[in-house]
Amino acid sequence: MAKTYQPTLRLLAHQISVFIARWRIGLQAGLTPEQAVALATFEVGLTGLLTALGAAPIED
């Protein structure tokens, strides 16, 4: 049963990683914390959508 959740957990870990990376990039670029969160949220949503559609496979 644990194997059933492995792809979902891997996707979740990937999305958290993307969020943190984009948030940090936003802060380094001089965005306010709120703008950086908005940027990160947009990126995570976009990559999640593309991954769900099969257009953006998760890189290992």
Instruction: Please report whether residue 12 resides in a domain.
Output: no
Q: What is the pLDDT of residue 54?
A: 76
Q: How many domains does the chain have?
A: 1
Instruction: Please report whether residue 8 resides in a domain.
Output: no
* Distance (Å, whole) CA 13 – CA 27: 21
Instruction: Please report whether residue 13 resides in a domain.
Output: no
Instruction: Please report whether residue 3 resides in a domain.
Output: no
Instruction: Please report whether residue 2 resides in a domain.
Output: no
pLDDT of 59 over the 90 cut: no
Spell out the alpha helix ranges (H) of the chain: 2-28, 33-52
Instruction: Please report whether residue 39 resides in a domain.
Output: yes
Instruction: Please report whether residue 32 resides in a domain.
Output: yes
Answer yes or no: pTM beyond 0.75: no
pLDDT tens digit sequence for 24-53: 999 999 999 999 999 999 988 887 788 778
Write the single-letter amino acid at 16. Answer: I
Instruction: Please report whether residue 9 resides in a domain.
Output: no
Expressed as residue numbers, the domain containing 39 is 24-53
